[in-house]
Amino acid sequence: MAATQALTDALQVIYREATRSPWICLNALKDAGPPNTISRGNDAPVLVLGGFLSHPYYYAPFGRILGQQGYTVHYDEVFNAQPFKPHVTALAARVTELATSAGEPVRVVGHSLGGLQAAALLLECPDAVAQVITIASPIVGGTPWRPLQRLAERVLGVHGDETATLRVGIEPYANRVTTISSPHDLVAPPSVCTVPGATNVVLSTVPRRDETLASHIGVVFMTTVARIVLAALARSTPDPSPLRRTVPPSIGVEPRPV
């Protein structure tokens, strides 16, 4: 009976993800246009990290939305199927470089595996990371879809149980973390995505315009999610370090952090 249920669940996941193809996602977000926001990015650096087995520029349409709102968007530089720990170490070096160049800490937005990598960056280089936003990222024990979990563990060289260390480690930084999850996502449901102390957003309903994207692959391309991300980015975050730019003083004006 258990084997039958496991097969049924696996087929359901495969069907849902296969019918939400990447091309549908890209077209849907492109057609949606830029969401309305209350503030602009003012060139603040944002690093977008993708999911397991994804190419960085698969997320270009999502990055375009951020860019239209004034953020300077960066992407990972490799196909996301690298051993987890060395990959995070390399990302930490890059984030530190980006923060130094920009004169301010980096905001990191990660989808699925990218969200776990983003959270790990808080531990590796907390002074260089202003904020982390995870989208459908199974930080609590990994994905409940075991075939995918086992594949990821072999490729990434980590075990799902190690997410407990990550989750506990980021608790001191939880006020910098926003998680976004959907009950329609069978790969990373809300139960494995929420972080204690963080701002946890669960998509309790899916607008009609986003119904075709209500899956693990598609959630990052939902207009609703783009708006949530932009609202989170617009919120002020704790200043993690002295990596702040100072505007040169003009006549009668004291230098101020920006």
* Average pLDDT of span 237-242: 58
Residue 14 — pLDDT band, cuts 50, 70, 90?
very low
pTM (2 d.p.):
0.83
Residue 43 — pLDDT band, cuts 50, 70, 90?
very high
Q: Comparing 222 with 3, which gets the higher pLDDT?
A: 222
- DSSP per residue, 71-99: -EEEE-SS-S-S-HHHHHHHHHHHHHHHH
Q: Model confidence over 179-188: pLDDT tens digits?
A: 999 988 889 9
Sheet holding 177-181, edge to edge: 72-75, 45-49, 106-111, 129-135, 177-181, 199-202
Domains of the chain: 38-234 (3.40.50.1820)
Strand, helix or coil for residue 201: strand
* Average pLDDT of span 190-201: 95
Gap between the Cα atoms of 183 and 73, Å rounded: 29
* Average pLDDT of span 18-22: 50
